[in-house]
Amino acid sequence: MFNIKQVYQPAFYEAMSLLFMIMAIISTMIIFVGTVPHIPVIVSIFVLILFGLMKRVPYTSLEKGLVDGAKSGISAVFIFFMIGLLISAWLLSGTILSLMDTAFFFVSPGFFYGAVFLTASLIGLFIGSSLTTVATIGVALVGVASAMDASAAITAGAVVSGAFFGDKMSPLSDTTNLAASIAGVDLFVHIQNMAWTTVPAFLLSLAGFAALSPDLDGSSFQDVQQIRDTIQEMGFIHWYSWLPALMLVILSIRRVPPLLTLAASTAFATGLSFFHSGKSIADTAAVLFAGFVPDTGNAEVDALLSRGGLDSMMFTVSLILLSLSLGGLLFTLGVIPCLFEGIERKLTTAGHSIAATAATAMGINVIIGEQYLSILLTGEAFSHHFEKLGLVKKNLSRTLEDAGTVVNPLVPWSVCGVFIADVLGVPVTDYFFFAFFCLVSPLLTVLYGYTGWTISKENRS
């Protein structure tokens, strides 16, 4: 959105008023009225258009801001389309069923949520993608929770926490590379410095999930065994069902672009499915579009496995485009640039600067709902300021990840929030307070800023 032309220079009070109005509209309609997030975002868009027209901004300029904002999310749209196809293909090939069957086998009744968190953390670290982790192993783990009568909200919180820990600390992660790049820091220096906040957040989260893990009785595991038997009887689980997941990991390690990685794994899984699914090419294409809907005779298993498909991503994609269009208008009307300028002048200490950087990254996640923009815009806005204060740039890159990357899944109308809620079937408002890692990380980065612990300064002697 850096290339969006600003056509109006608002006063600081105008920018703040518009910002609070939009936040009030979106939060009130979603949390208290219970609407889908699309409606308040559309309402907010027209509030901004009305404001622009009142300030005699040409409608064509406002329309261009809308379009340019939406354009910035086209690459993400294709990623989400491919994830919808991937889930269907992995269900057809038996890959997700194999993951689920293995999770059923290894899960511990006394450490369930902790095990979910550790599993998602490992997979996220290995492949470097939080959303892919959620859409694959996350779906399987929430399915296990459903079979065990464990809390879907806590399980989803553990999945999200683990997935974003892995994404944050993986050298394969696009957000990790982006944060290091925007701050001008070596990637591995950035990851090493993040460990100061990330490891404590990880340990606190693990302790929290361990404490919440239920003491399940034998009857729960009888139900689990029935579901596991039904899944195995479907005839979709074979040794080769693991190959699409292995391909995804290998291509991720080799740093093949995510779109191509997802497409290759989807195509491979679809080809493998013809060995056992019994579906024609036309039937397979229908599943890839509409999703996988089994008919096992077990209603619980059918509900558990009815997922995926290109069509399932339309809710997510439409909200992404609307949210980014809203962001485009905020830039066109100068709201976000004005706020950046007003905030920076008041920051004179390292603690205040890091807190403001964290607040800005979180604010962009809330207002625009886009993870990458929270890193890009905040990094650009505060880079020069950190230099003026003599703060080493790795402090900036760490703050961008601690308060930018991991906060997006906590916002119900954000790109990650909408996607995760749709894929896992658990609303953001349900798992919000259980996404411990995402909640603790920004608090720790602000705490470190004010105490000065691990905050490095340039040697100017």
* 82/65 same-domain check: no
Question: Do residues 175 and 282 both lie within one domain?
Answer: yes
Burial class (CB in 10 A: 0-12, 13-18, 19+), 229: exposed
On whether both 47 and 100 belong to a single domain, the answer is: no
Give yes or no: residues 127 and 28 share one domain.
no
Does the residue 455 lie in any domain?
Answer: no
User: pLDDT tens for residues 292-310?
Assistant: 888 888 776 776 677 788 8
User: What pLDDT is recorded for position 224?
Assistant: 64
Do 69 and 82 have their domain in common? Answer: no
Q: Which of 247, 281, 313 is the last residue of a domain?
A: 313
Name the percent of the chain lying above pLDDT 70. Answer: 92
262 in the same domain as 114: yes
Task: Identify whether residues 61 and 86 lie together within a single domain.
Answer: no
388 and 294 belong to one structural domain: no
CA angle 126, 357, 352 (to 5 degrees): 130
Q: Number of helices and strands (H, E) in the chain?
A: 24, 0
Q: Structural domain tally of the chain?
A: 2
Count Cα atoms within 13 angstroms, Cβ side, for 161. Answer: 34
Q: Are residues 224 and 245 in the same domain?
A: yes
Q: Which domain holds residue 363?
A: 12-74+323-431
Q: Are residues 91 and 138 in the same domain?
A: yes
Stretch among 168-182, 349-363, 401-415 having the lowest mean pLDDT: 168-182
- Is residue 247 one of the residues assigned to a domain? yes
Q: Do the domain assignments include residue 46?
A: yes
Residue 7 lies in a domain: no
Total-model pTM:
0.71
Which contacts qualify for 430-435: CB closer than 8 Å, 24 or more apart? 430/152, 430/153, 430/156, 431/153, 431/154, 431/156, 431/157, 431/160, 432/157, 433/157, 434/153, 434/154, 434/156, 434/157, 434/158, 434/161, 434/212, 435/157, 435/160, 435/161, 435/164, 435/409, 435/410
Res 286: pLDDT: 93
User: End of a domain among 286, 313, 340?
Assistant: 313
* Nearest-5° Cα angle at 250, 135 to 292: 30
Q: Of the candidates 266, 288, 313, which is a domain's last residue? A: 313
In a shared domain, residues 113 and 155: yes
Shared-domain flag, residues 338 and 292:
no
Residue 299 falls within a domain, yes or no? yes
- Which tens digit of pLDDT belongs to each residue from 306-337? 778 888 888 778 877 887 788 889 889 988 77
- What is the average per-residue pLDDT within 393-397? 88
Is the Cα torsion angle 111, 114, 117, 119 positive or negative in sign? negative
Going by pLDDT thresholds of 50, 70 and 90, the confidence category of residue 172 is low
H or E segment to which residue 266 belongs: helix 258-273
In a domain, 137, yes or no: yes
* Residue 451 counted as domain residue: no
pLDDT > 80? residue 341: no
Largest CA-CA distance found in the chain, in angstroms, rounded: 75
- Residue 76: closest CA among 382, 322, 320: 320
